[in-house]
């Protein structure tokens, strides 16, 4: 289900721009070099999925600004992980953009952390178990 909503190149790039503060249709189109019909389609899909909301900034003709909803903002860790992966494997150690903590300007790391043990967890230490309803019915 997730990939059907955000799994194409244009949707990911639109989300990236929205996280960077690009808000208006024409600004998105110019920054991405995307055709108007494709941008309109992807924004509509992101809106229908509850990831993006639109707010008019002009009435005649109606023009909207686009903002990430809470659901959209919750995609941040996933997008950062994809960005770091691309930087590692496709940028030859020279990432085009470095994400930093706005208070101290330190480059951010992507870390999986166990809240119970209070330690970072590497990929070899990750396992899985059923979740959701299946998990609830077994423990009840």
Which pTM was predicted? 0.79
DSSP letter for each residue of 4-61: HHH-SHHHHHHHHHHHTT--BHHHHHHHHT--HHHHHHHHHHHHHTTSEEEEEEETTT
Q: Which two tokens stand for residue 89?
A: 């494997």
How many whole angstroms separate alpha carbon 108 and alpha carbon 111?
9
- The residue among 20, 34, 25 whose CA lies nearest residue 76 is 20
pLDDT at residue number 83:
87
61 φ, ψ (degrees, to nearest 5): -75, 160
Q: Give me the CATH code for the 2-73 domain, please.
A: 1.10.10.10
Q: Where are the domains of the chain?
A: 2-73, 76-132
pLDDT digits (tens, 9 = 90+) for 30-47: 999 999 999 999 999 999
pLDDT digits (tens, 9 = 90+) for 44-54: 999 999 999 99
């Amino acid at each position: 289900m997730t990939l059907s909503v955000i799994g194409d190149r244009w949707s990911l790039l639109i989300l990236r721009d929205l996280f960077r503060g690009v808000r208006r249709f024409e600004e998105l189109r110019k920054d991405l070099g995307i055709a108007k019909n494709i941008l309109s389609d992807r924004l509509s899909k992101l809106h229908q999925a509850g990831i993006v909301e639109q707010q008019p900034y002009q009435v005649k003709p109606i023009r909207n600004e686009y903002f990430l909803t809470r659901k959209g903002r919750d995609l941040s860790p996933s997008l950062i992980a994809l960005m770091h992966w691309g930087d590692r494997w496709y940028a030859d150690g020279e990432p085009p953009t470095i994400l930093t903590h706005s208070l101290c300007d330190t480059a951010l790391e992507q870390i999986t952390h166990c809240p119970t043990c209070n330690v970072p967890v590497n990929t070899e230490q990750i396992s899985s178990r059923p979740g959701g309803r299946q998990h609830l019915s077994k423990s009840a």
